[in-house]
Amino acid sequence: MKRWSRDAWKKTRIHEAQVVDQALSGPLEGVLQAERLKRQKLVLNQLGEYGIKTTKALEALVDEMLLHERPITISKLHERPKLERLNPTTLYRLMIKMEQVGMVRRIGLHTRAVHYLLNLPGVQTDYIVCISCGDVCQIHPPKTPEAVEAFIAQQTGWWDVRQQMEFFGNCPQCSQ
């Protein structure tokens, strides 16, 4: 099995990001922007149904999360041009409100910076988290556990891949 060096992996990731940036600046940009605005309106309406007031800060946060489309930390969000003028505490409080109503998903290790991802209807994504650095990488695994481990090792170049399934939900007492 081929192992990737860190430099080769980073170069590949940078190249993939450049390809995506080029695609977004092409003729599809208007279509993608219209779809993003439609999703933003959907998310803001759902948040409004839970009593969360739509503010400029919330609009900007949702828009940036839709633009990013992968798990992102609050500190990285704060570096984005639309959000850099906001207080990081404001971003954190908005994220916690969105998490409480199930609009965002928390991804990561308890000892590292937490990444957040919007929960969009019909979109299910899986991620692998590095136990050393906390990096989060999207994966598209097959169905059996053994095949998942082999697939992740092959696609990412990671070694000693193991899994731990976590399920989240509400117990019968909390559902009442």
pLDDT in tens, 27-56: 445 567 888 888 899 999 999 999 999 999
* More confident of the two residues 98 and 130: 98
* More confident of the two residues 167 and 133: 133
Inter-helix orientation angle 56-68/88-100, to 10°? 80
Q: What is the largest CA-CA distance in the chain?
A: 52
Neighbours of 116 (CB within 10 A): 25
Residue-level pLDDT at 69: 72
* More confident of the two residues 82 and 165: 82
Determine the average pLDDT of the residues in 120-149.
Answer: 74
What the block records as the tokens of 94 is: 């908005």
The Cα-based distances of 7 to 11, 13, 16, 171 in angstroms read 6, 10, 14, 45
Determine the average pLDDT of the residues in 3-13.
Answer: 47
Q: Where are the domains of the chain?
A: 16-116, 125-163
Is the pLDDT at 118 greater than 50? The verdict is yes
**16-34 as b/e: b if 16+ CB within 10 A:** eeeeeeeeeeeeeeeeeee
Give the CATH fold of the 16-116 domain: Arc Repressor Mutant, subunit A (1.10.10)
* More confident of the two residues 171 and 113: 113
Of 160, 164, 167, residue with least CA distance to 132: 160
Q: Catalogue the long-range contacts made by 44-49 (C-beta closer than 8 Å, 24 or more residues apart).
A: 46/101, 46/103, 47/97, 47/98, 47/101, 47/103
CA angle, corner 137, sides to 154 and 116, nearest 5? 160
Is the pLDDT at 175 greater than 70? The verdict is no
Q: What is the C-alpha R_g of the chain?
A: 18
Is the pLDDT at 75 greater than 50? The verdict is yes
Query: Mean pLDDT across the chain, nearest whole number?
Result: 76
